[in-house]
Chains A and B, each alone.
Chain A
């Protein structure tokens, strides 16, 4: 919202206070000033110029070559405006002037071969209006060389204030002035009214009836007759322009002016176009169509509060008037509407119509129900003064249930308790009184505070405490240097995932963070995806059902950028509808899980002086997952089974199962899936459900006595049929070996012609030891020989060497 400092000064004496101070105090009291335009600075270099000569440009029909004097010097200036003439007083921008509109600096230039030393300005170039039809022509008695700020009254400071939704009272100049009054401890001056009424009784001219009292608690009105519609006087146009509004005609301008002065939105109806000269306020019962004054036909929901005459709807209450009761150039008699509407009703309508106006913006935040009559009369007075109208005798003010001022108890001890600092009683009373609250002292500690109706946000004691704090200044409340900490048990629900991230890092993986909002086809790749009902775009309309498609998108994007070797992981939430559910109406309709994904793709090692290049393969993935599980002590809890199972994502995969619960799944991603992402190299992924992982109780670690006796290691190698799997041999050795056999590992596998067709060699290392004693050679030898026999026999294998 734009606020003009000059306008503010109508309501408060700010003499001797710098605009910088005002801006700072406003910001520090909750009315954040986001931008300041100081016209004195902005128009510093513009001066009144006198056009002493004008000739046609030798090389261009539309341009003229002018001589402009600034009183001490004369400049040659090229001008393109059709209305420039010799003898005019104009706005002159000499070389070096920054033009506000377009933000460029005037330089010496040549236009079609003729030099130009400055610019004669149009209104739009100064940013005072959008008019670019011709240059601004100033009063003939303006003295050349005078700063333009003086001649045009461009000496204002315009502030852009971000008013928070709780402060409807600050959406006007008087509202802002009231805060300044409290901040600088000044008196607020409100324009006093003196109405010169005619003999026509308002009740003989119009009548008003509220049918929906809930949504229209108050409707105040004045009637003004014999108005002449004209352009507004300069002072009025100037005020409106200073806050960025376009003047229209005196009636519209006056209603706008009063709204920006006191915050009450107003509407003027052409009384002669109201059937039955009556206003009825009621809500629609069915869907209705209505054409607003911007000539758009709109569909209204049932329950929309409307302003009607005897026969038809004439306005959407609090939002916009209708085309059928608009003010015309020949309008003579007007009925001024100054009402208080139920904020939530106006908000519903505005939301439904997706139509926000200056009026609806204020009504939905809450206007002052106590101020409607003042605003109507202020409007009437200006219509009389400016538009020559006659104010009909009396007013109509329908206010069936008076909205009382709220009374609150304020305990000074409570102020100290919440702020941690004592604000004196005197200070408290001054602050609240300056803000318009009325105070009665009840006891040493207690005040009775009456809340004015323009502060709907102040409903409780704590709201008063905020008022005191913000005017007193948050920075004046001490920042205490030490705190107390309750000594309860501290919990960190993120520590598990923090550890996982640490382990993933130490395995060389980088963390990625993906957007969970996805394209439908990606989200539905791995589950029953949830649809967002109002997405930004179809690319982000569904919630991810696993981390896979996000990860593959990252792989794809990186491949396009030439990053082909990737080691990645992500931890994040995924969302799946339960079977049989199609939408989310309760927490039982879907599951939100925390998941973990590993991704490996490209080369594990590049070509180096010490190694050949090598692609990532299935066993890299498996190794990482196994190491990981070992680190989180789940290696003995997790049974992994690795064989081709029926899976739509992975070609060959291994699964991590805990007691029949699938907690992890992964392997090489199918090429049909990769094709969807334009990926043409192998990608290995493993996904885990962290929620389920967290539920597993890991046995507490305890110390194992370190081995005191030597280990005995034996090797053997056999030639097997190719079809024999490592695991089968390992299982047999482990099952048939003695208790002393503690570990079996395969350390060499190869195939060659020498071995024979369909044969392979596998070499195993067996480790024997006992925690209690040194093993004897015989017992190891006995077991070892026995195993050689069993393996040879069991797999029809031949011992090598």
Chain B
């Protein structure tokens, strides 16, 4: 009996619901079915009369019916209140879709992430260190003696006599090696500062990725292999490369890696200063003096290190000619990437 009545109520509701034209109609049927003394309530009252064994099933069906009616009414309610206009419109599929927005990471972060994922695939961990550093970690431990002209290579913002804003991510090498024993294989991204006048070509801070590998059988040839593989994964296959001797106090031998200028393909242009080559990173074999500072045995262990600037890479890759645009955070710029 009750089961039949439930079926009937369902049918009645469906008929009446299709005829609803406005919110006052809707409110009427809501009270009729869902009100304190409405049909559903009445049916629940009659549940007592049912056979004990039938009760659970009937109860379940009644619940389902109530949920269905409730949700249909709620849905209709919100469409009445919000979409009055579209009711009168025929369905015009040529109207633009509604707007949604996915944000994005800063282009420097995206560039860094790409570099990170390449090195992670080559078995490198990722570590970080502070930006406000001690003179010891930033210079002394990296074999920049006090009163040595090598210090002129990196104009420094000092906080006090012994503290400064790190001029490179290399102090993270020191922190890492102080913390763990070889093998150490890690990249260390981060923000660095240089006391240089702000212009289109230089800014007082920028970002670097540092790399370090220390083990018993590390070689210069392996350093070259690793970096060439990185460059191919990052810049593509279509370039030549060369390694030039250079000088960094914390590596010996030291090198800079150039690749064919991808603007002019090597024929010479303004970007590569008419050399046909673009310098993309600095690298070398870890200097024994650095190992001494972190108490590694430099007879037993050999290491290589490398570092590159993210801004420079992003500028070359995306054709950005003014470094300041990265830090203006113009919303139109942020949305481009």
Q: B244 touching A777 by the CB < 8 A rule? A: no
Residue from the list B100, B128, B191, B225 in contact with A482, Cβ < 8 A: B225
In the complex, which residue of chain A has the Cβ closest to the Cβ of B182? Answer: A486
Q: A28 touching B327 by the CB < 8 A rule? A: no
Contacts of B330 in A (CB 8 A): 557-558, 561, 563
Q: A485 touching B35 by the CB < 8 A rule? A: no
For the complex, what is the distance from the CA of A291 to the CA of B229, rounded to whole Å? Answer: 58
For the complex, what is the distance from the CA of A595 to the CA of B56, rounded to whole Å? Answer: 55
Contacts of A30 in B (CB 8 A): 244-247
In the complex, what's the smallest C-beta–C-beta distance from B232 to chain A, in angstroms? 11
In the complex, which residue of chain A has the Cβ closest to the Cβ of B207? Answer: A513
Q: CB of B106 within 8 A of chain A?
A: yes
In the complex, which residue of chain B has the Cβ closest to the Cβ of A35? Answer: B273
Contacts of B146 in A (CB 8 A): 344
Q: B221 touching A479 by the CB < 8 A rule? A: yes
Interface residues on A, range: 35 or more
Q: A466 touching B254 by the CB < 8 A rule? A: yes
For the complex, what is the distance from the CA of A492 to the CA of B157, rounded to whole Å? Answer: 29
Q: B126 touching A492 by the CB < 8 A rule? A: yes
Q: CB of B163 within 8 A of chain A?
A: yes
Within 8 A of A (CB), among B30-48: 30-31, 34-36, 44, 47
Q: CB of B90 within 8 A of chain A?
A: no
For the complex, what is the distance from the CA of A27 to the CA of B252, rounded to whole Å? Answer: 18
Q: Contacts A470-B253, A592-B131 given; indicate if A505 touches B56 (C-beta within 8 A).
A: no
Q: Contacts A164-B246, A469-B245 given; indicate if A501 touches B147 (C-beta within 8 A).
A: no
Stretch with Cβ within 8 A of A (4 or more), from B9-17, B63-71, B259-267: B63-71
Q: CB of A29 within 8 A of chain B?
A: yes
For the complex, what is the distance from the CA of A600 to the CA of B185, rounded to whole Å? Answer: 40
For the complex, what is the distance from the CA of A382 to the CA of B59, rounded to whole Å? Answer: 118
In the complex, what's the smallest C-beta–C-beta distance from B119 to chain A, in angstroms? 11
Q: Contacts A419-B219, A583-B160, A774-B56 given; indicate if A486 touches B183 (C-beta within 8 A).
A: yes
Q: A347 touching B149 by the CB < 8 A rule? A: yes
Indicate with 1 or 0, residue by residue over A510-546, a CB within 8 angstroms of chain B CB atoms.
Answer: 1111111100000000000011111110001001000
For the complex, what is the distance from the CA of A509 to the CA of B104, rounded to whole Å? Answer: 7
Q: CB of B113 within 8 A of chain A?
A: yes
Q: A493 touching B130 by the CB < 8 A rule? A: no
Contacts of B31 in A (CB 8 A): 801
Give the interface centre of B106, B120, B122 by most chain A CB atoms within 10 Å: B106
Q: CB of A488 within 8 A of chain B?
A: yes
Stretch with Cβ within 8 A of B (4 or more), from A75-83, A116-124, A659-667, A709-717: A709-717
Q: B149 touching A490 by the CB < 8 A rule? A: no
Indicate with 1 or 0, residue by residue over A565-605, a CB within 8 angstroms of chain B CB atoms.
Answer: 01111001101000000011101001010000000000001
Q: CB of A406 within 8 A of chain B?
A: no
Q: Contacts A165-B152, A512-B106 given; indicate if A590 touches B331 (C-beta within 8 A).
A: no
In the complex, which residue of chain A has the Cβ closest to the Cβ of B327? Answer: A515
Q: B252 touching A532 by the CB < 8 A rule? A: no
In the complex, what's the smallest C-beta–C-beta distance from B219 to chain A, in angstroms? 3
Q: A567 touching B103 by the CB < 8 A rule? A: yes
Q: A511 touching B247 by the CB < 8 A rule? A: no
In the complex, what's the smallest C-beta–C-beta distance from A336 to chain B, in angstroms? 26
For the complex, what is the distance from the CA of A710 to the CA of B65, rounded to whole Å? Answer: 12
Q: Contacts A30-B245, A514-B327 given; indicate if A165 touches B149 (C-beta within 8 A).
A: yes
Contacts of A32 in B (CB 8 A): 244, 246
Residue from the list B60, B130, B165, B328 in contact with A710, Cβ < 8 A: B60
In the complex, which residue of chain B has the Cβ closest to the Cβ of A364? Answer: B149
Q: B205 touching A517 by the CB < 8 A rule? A: yes
Q: B131 touching A573 by the CB < 8 A rule? A: yes
For the complex, what is the distance from the CA of A417 to the CA of B304, rounded to whole Å? Answer: 13
Q: CB of B55 within 8 A of chain A?
A: yes
Within 8 A of A (CB), among B96-152: 96, 98-106, 108-109, 113, 116, 120, 122-128, 130-132, 134, 146-150, 152
Q: A480 touching B222 by the CB < 8 A rule? A: yes
In the complex, what's the smallest C-beta–C-beta distance from B74 to chain A, in angstroms? 8
Q: CB of B198 within 8 A of chain A?
A: yes
Interface residues on B, range: 35 or more
For the complex, what is the distance from the CA of A738 to the CA of B34, rounded to whole Å? Answer: 22
Q: B132 touching A485 by the CB < 8 A rule? A: no
For the complex, what is the distance from the CA of A466 to the CA of B242, rounded to whole Å? Answer: 17
For the complex, what is the distance from the CA of A66 to the CA of B70, rounded to whole Å? Answer: 104
For the complex, what is the distance from the CA of A514 to the CA of B254, rounded to whole Å? Answer: 33
Q: Contacts A479-B228, A584-B132 given; indicate if A167 touches B63 (C-beta within 8 A).
A: no
For the complex, what is the distance from the CA of A781 to the CA of B48, rounded to whole Å? Answer: 13
Contacts of B47 in A (CB 8 A): 777
Q: Contacts A462-B252, A532-B157, A534-B157 given; indicate if A777 touches B62 (C-beta within 8 A).
A: yes
Q: CB of B80 within 8 A of chain A?
A: no
Residue from the list A514, A585, A611, A801 in contact with B163, Cβ < 8 A: A585
For the complex, what is the distance from the CA of A344 to the CA of B98, rounded to whole Å? Answer: 69
For the complex, what is the distance from the CA of A479 to the CA of B283, rounded to whole Å? Answer: 14
Within 8 A of B (CB), among A693-749: 710-713, 715
In the complex, which residue of chain A has the Cβ closest to the Cβ of B242? Answer: A475
Q: Contacts A418-B220, A710-B63 given; indicate if A475 touches B104 (C-beta within 8 A).
A: no
Contacts of A533 in B (CB 8 A): 158-160
Indicate with 1 or 0, residue by residue over A265-304, a CB within 8 angstroms of chain B CB atoms.
Answer: 0000000000000000000000000000000000000000
Q: A609 touching B95 by the CB < 8 A rule? A: yes
For the complex, what is the distance from the CA of A609 to the CA of B185, rounded to whole Å? Answer: 56
In the complex, what's the smallest C-beta–C-beta distance from A754 to chain B, in angstroms? 13
Contacts of A511 in B (CB 8 A): 103-106, 109, 334
Q: CB of B204 within 8 A of chain A?
A: yes
In the complex, which residue of chain B has the Cβ closest to the Cβ of A540? Answer: B204
Q: CB of B309 within 8 A of chain A?
A: no
Q: B247 touching A510 by the CB < 8 A rule? A: no
Q: CB of A194 within 8 A of chain B?
A: no
Contacts of A592 in B (CB 8 A): 130-132
For the complex, what is the distance from the CA of A32 to the CA of B113, rounded to whole Å? Answer: 32
In the complex, what's the smallest C-beta–C-beta distance from B333 to chain A, in angstroms? 10
Contacts of B201 in A (CB 8 A): none
Q: Contacts A164-B246, A532-B159 given; indicate if A776 touches B56 (C-beta within 8 A).
A: yes
Q: B242 touching A28 by the CB < 8 A rule? A: yes
Give the interface centre of A347, A483, A540 by most chain B CB atoms within 10 Å: A483
Contacts of B59 in A (CB 8 A): 774, 776-777
Indicate with 1 or 0, residue by residue over B233-261, a CB within 8 angstroms of chain A CB atoms.
Answer: 00000000011111100001111000000
For the complex, what is the distance from the CA of A790 to the CA of B183, rounded to whole Å? Answer: 67
Q: CB of B329 within 8 A of chain A?
A: yes
5 more contacts with CB within 8 A, not counting A583-B159, A609-B96, are A419-B221, A462-B288, A558-B329, A575-B132, A774-B59
Q: Which 9 A-B pairs have the closest CB atoms?
A: A420-B219, A420-B221, A30-B245, A485-B123, A164-B247, A466-B253, A470-B245, A512-B329, A474-B243
User: Would you give 25 A-B contacts (Cβ < 8 Å), ordered by A?
Assistant: A165-B153, A165-B247, A420-B220, A421-B219, A460-B252, A466-B252, A470-B245, A474-B224, A477-B224, A479-B221, A480-B224, A485-B122, A486-B215, A493-B128, A498-B113, A509-B103, A513-B108, A513-B327, A514-B327, A516-B205, A540-B204, A592-B132, A608-B99, A774-B56, A801-B35
